[in-house]
């Protein structure tokens, strides 16, 4: 495994150097969209290596890795993974060529470590390096509730799968608030869930500049709410094809600020 990673890293470094020489100038966005998929692949291979002893269940579009403790959960997770696959892919007019890896953790610490999360409460799901990583529904759904209903309607699968599509299409060339807003909007379209519906701003809603530059420092709940509102307003005003054109331009290395501020 280490030898494979070293070989891929060497190829990546060579590729980046050649790209810089070919462009003649250092263009950050262009360089990023060409180099990013290689870095992401390295991270993906490392995650697969760390979970190589997990059990595996394959569906039409997903490869799900899980621990023995979640044997009873795996059919539910498989069902939830596939439920909105075609609707979401149709909306983006993009269908991943490879099956998507889903990793189910029965230990929150393992999720935090493998998803490179440094601190805070473990999320019920996270997208990282072409993988959807989730906590077992057993760990966050109360025994008093019907686990299938909660996971199908409130689980993380649509949200995290949307992150994967955005990442594939834009090649990492986007601010965090944008991909969160798009993912929350997909949840809204598929399940009717409105993020932050009952939350109120104490002052003016966050600006795009604040979301772009300070997303991790401002109120997280209101930041997500504002991200959802911005994407919903734009998609409903200009059509979702506008979001798709934006993703295509981002994947070509164009600057997000210049694209999104266009009316």
Are 66 and 140 contained in the same domain? yes
Residue 159 contacts by C-beta under 8 Å, 6 or more apart in sequence? 125, 183, 184, 186, 187
Residue 131, φ and ψ in degrees, nearest 5: -125, 145
* Residue 33 shares a structural domain with residue 123: no
Q: Tell me the pLDDT tens digit for each residue of 98-132.
A: 999 999 999 999 999 999 998 788 999 999 999 99
Residue 149 domain flag: yes
Q: Residue 23 is part of which domain span?
A: 1-50
- pLDDT at position 25: 46
210 burial via Cβ count (<10 Å: 0-12, 13-18, 19+): middle
Q: How confident is the model at residue 5 (pLDDT cuts 50, 70, 90)?
A: very low
- Name the domain boundary from 101, 124, 156: 156
Q: 0.75 exceeded by the pTM?
A: yes
Both tokens of 90, joined, read 């149709």
Cα–Cα distance, 71 to 74 (Å, whole number): 6
**Domains: count for the chain:** 3
Which letter, b or e, does each residue of 34-53 get, where b requires 16 or more Cβ atoms within 10 Å of its Cβ? bbbbebbebbbbebbeebee
**What is the Cα 115 distance to its own chain's centre?**
11
Check whether residue 98 and residue 133 sit in a common domain.
yes
Render pLDDT for 159-206 as a digit per residue (tens, 0 to 9): 999 999 999 999 999 999 999 999 999 999 999 999 888 899 888 999
- Residue 164 is assigned to a structural domain of this protein: no
8-state DSSP, 56:
E
């Amino acid at each position: 495994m280490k030898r494979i990673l070293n070989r891929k890293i060497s190829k990546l470094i060579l590729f980046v150097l050649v790209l810089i020489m070919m462009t003649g100038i250092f263009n950050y966005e262009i360089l990023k969209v060409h180099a990013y998929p290689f870095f992401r692949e390295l991270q993906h291979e490392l995650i697969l290596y760390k979970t190589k002893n997990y059990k595996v269940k394959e569906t039409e579009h997903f490869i799900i890795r899980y621990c023995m403790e979640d044997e009873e959960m795996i059919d539910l997770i498989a069902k939830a993974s596939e439920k909105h696959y075609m609707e979401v892919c149709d909306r983006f007019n993009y269908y991943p060529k490879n099956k998507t890896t889903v990793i189910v953790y029965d230990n929150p610490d393992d999720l935090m470590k493998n998803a490179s999360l440094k601190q805070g409460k473990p999320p019920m799901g996270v997208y990282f390096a072409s993988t959807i990583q989730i906590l077992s529904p057993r760990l966050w759904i109360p025994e008093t509730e019907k686990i299938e209903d909660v996971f199908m309607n409130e689980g993380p699968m649509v949200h995290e799968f949307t992150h994967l599509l955005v990442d594939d299409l834009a090649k990492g060339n986007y601010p965090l608030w944008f991909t969160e807003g798009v993912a929350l909007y997909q949840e809204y379209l598929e399940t009717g869930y409105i993020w932050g519906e009952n939350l109120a701003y104490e002052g003016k809603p966050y600006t795009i500049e604040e979301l772009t530059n300070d997303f991790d420092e401002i109120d997280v709940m209101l930041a997500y709410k504002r991200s959802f509102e911005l994407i919903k307003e734009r998609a409903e005003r200009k059509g979702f094809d506008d979001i798709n054109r934006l993703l295509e331009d981002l994947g070509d290395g164009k600057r997000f600020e210049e694209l999104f501020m266009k009316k």
